[in-house]
Structure 1
């Protein structure tokens, strides 16, 4: 998959290098959840049928982050995660459009003419609730009107699961509430964190449970504080583990910024500086303060055993 970063207005060289007949799915696609997949897969499928490249046009940073509106608290899929998922779906071209305050003021007509038609988009595929242009004035039907016969538009209906429309906002709320089973079901894949292993307080090693302390690569939505059964990609191999997301109340007070610590089962090597991918498989329990180190150690062993059973049964 080729990734191209765009800013408006498009330069002549960008148009020359990238314009051509193509089928494009357009949207923010944060999470690349099952509703998004229904839109993107339609573009990939139609592109193959018509012998054209498939494309995804998305926006970065997240518009809510730029405009400081709504309850934006991070991405379900920061750009690297989104790229990986889209590449796995067989998308040929990913266009990452720089979202800024000035871009937010672009009229719907200017977006269609200066971005979509300039890139040679022959068919735009969007979700039923797609909005674009200044103050979200543009909608899916308007996209068809502004295409003015030069661009077809396919509108994908809402994707529902268990009678509920799948949406990024629903997934964020469920993730922050510890409803991981619901999160992963709506996503269609495990919620994933990615980060570099950095120095921590090394306390885990002293109590017999060494942990990899992660500094996240990107502004992820932080899951509910607690303990999770996880799978981690370490040096090209998937390993079972247990992760704590929280502030370690047994050892410290007045800390509000959560840490992300992974204890890998049956693994005890130095991996400082390594990149870890961590898939959250199951929520085991909320974080809590223990009256003694001994009770904490006993609980960590129980959590590790629980994680091993969960992960073993899900393989």
Structure 2
């Protein structure tokens, strides 16, 4: 897959199937749309194209919007997951004044038709585009049916609940990572680098890998203790992760991400890693003593090992 951060100045391609959206998280609902886009393109022998955004539209409409810790999938992750679904070209354009005020007619005529030679448009069940969200499947089929065939993809649900980025975000924030993972179709992960901490975990007998996130826009799950696996040096290592402020040990407001790896002794400081969260097992709490904390961590480790023995992690 080739990806770009702007539209080409000249016509880019003769014929294509296109879908449009933010696609934050590239969850199972998004996968239905993207898979259909690829399917039609392959049947017709033409290119599949995704038009997405390098910033969330809410950051334009709400100047006070803080993007920090707000995305399920920052750019590098979104590129990875869209590519895995077989898309040929991805355009991640800035959602700016031009795009926000571009009429649907101009978007279709000046971009989709002129630059990309669109023949088919695939959209999610509630997806719209253009100024004041005028563009839709019905709008395209009503006004451009001689040039474009537009399709609306049926909503994806889990236990009668619509799968959406906003719903998954709420589950991640709550710490209901197992539900979020089911809607994503994979384990929610955090990418970053292992850095030095204060080595308190080592002093307690449970050394940890402290992870500094690569992208500050990445949504951090709710505070607590999680069963996890860490991908490092192309291998998966089982572990137990604490996301929180370590109230028993410090008074810091800083949220740390620390993973105790099972049966692993390698020096991985400075290594790029990816942390997959499997399930939350308890809330973070302040213990009355270090001994009480040690006993709880020992119990957590045994429980995590028993649970990890039953499952397969999808990365």
Task: Mark the CA change 1:6 to 1:290 in structure 2 (over 3 Å): closer, same or farther.
Answer: same
Cα deviation code 1:38-81 (max 9, x no counterpart): 11110111111111222222111111233337897511111111
- Return the alpha-carbon distance in structure 1 between the equivalents of residues 130 and 117 of structure 2: 19
Unaligned runs of 5+ in 1: none
1:226 positional shift: 0.4
Q: Does residue 264 in structure 1 map to residue 258 in structure 2?
A: no
TM superposition score normalised by structure 2: 0.91
Question: Structure 1 residue 234: deviation in Å?
Answer: 0.4
**How far off is 1:136 after superposition?**
2.6
Contact kept, 8 Å, 1:109 with 1:146, in 2: the verdict is no
Call closer, same or farther: CA 1:298–1:137 in 2, change over 3 Å. Answer: same
5 Å-filtered alignment, 1:85-164, equals 85-117=81-113, 118-145=115-142, 147=144, 149-164=146-161
Residues 1:43 and 2:37 are matched in the alignment:
yes
- For structure 2, the 5+ residue unaligned runs are none
In structure 2, the residue matched to 1:239 is 237
Answering whether residue 297 of structure 2 is matched by residue 300 of structure 1, we say yes
Q: What SS does structure 2 have at the residue aligned with 1:294?
A: helix
User: Does the residue aligned with 1:186 lie in a helix, a strand or coil?
Assistant: helix
Q: 1:71 to 1:302 in 2, by over 3 A?
A: same
Q: Which residue of 1 aligns with 2:61?
A: 67
Q: CA deviation at 1:308?
A: 1.3
Do 2:228 and 2:277's aligned partners in 1 also have CA atoms closer than 8 Å? yes
Which structure 1 residue ranges, 4+ long, deviate > 3 Å from structure 2?
A: 69-73, 143-148
- Is 1:198 aligned to 2:195, yes or no? yes
Q: What corresponds to 2:21 in structure 1?
A: 27
Deviations 1:65-108 (A, max 9, x none): 33337897511111111111122212222221222234222222
Please report the TM-score for the alignment, with normalisation by the length of structure 1: 0.91
**Corresponding residue of 2:3:** 3
CA distance in 2: counterparts of 1:39 and 1:79, whole angstroms: 19
8 Å Cα contact 2:59/2:66 also seen in 1: no
Work out the CA distance in 1 between the residues paired with 2:48 and 2:27.
Answer: 19
Tell me if the contact between 2:5 and 2:54 (Cα under 8 Å) persists in the aligned partners: no
Equivalent residue of 1:314, what SS?
coil
Q: Is the contact made by 1:122 and 1:150 (CA closer than 8 Å) also made in structure 2?
A: yes
Deviations 1:9-36 (A, max 9, x none): x423xx3xx3231212221111111111
Task: Decide which of 54, 78, 83 is 1:82's aligned counterpart.
Answer: 78
- Name the SS of the counterpart of 1:129 in structure 2: coil
| Partner Cα distance (2:171, 2:35) in 1 | 25
CA contact (8 A) 1:67 1:101 kept: no
Query: Does structure 1 conserve the Cα–Cα contact (< 8 Å) formed by 2:18 and 2:37?
Result: yes
CA RMSD for the aligned pairs? 1.9
Is 1:230 aligned to 2:228, yes or no? yes
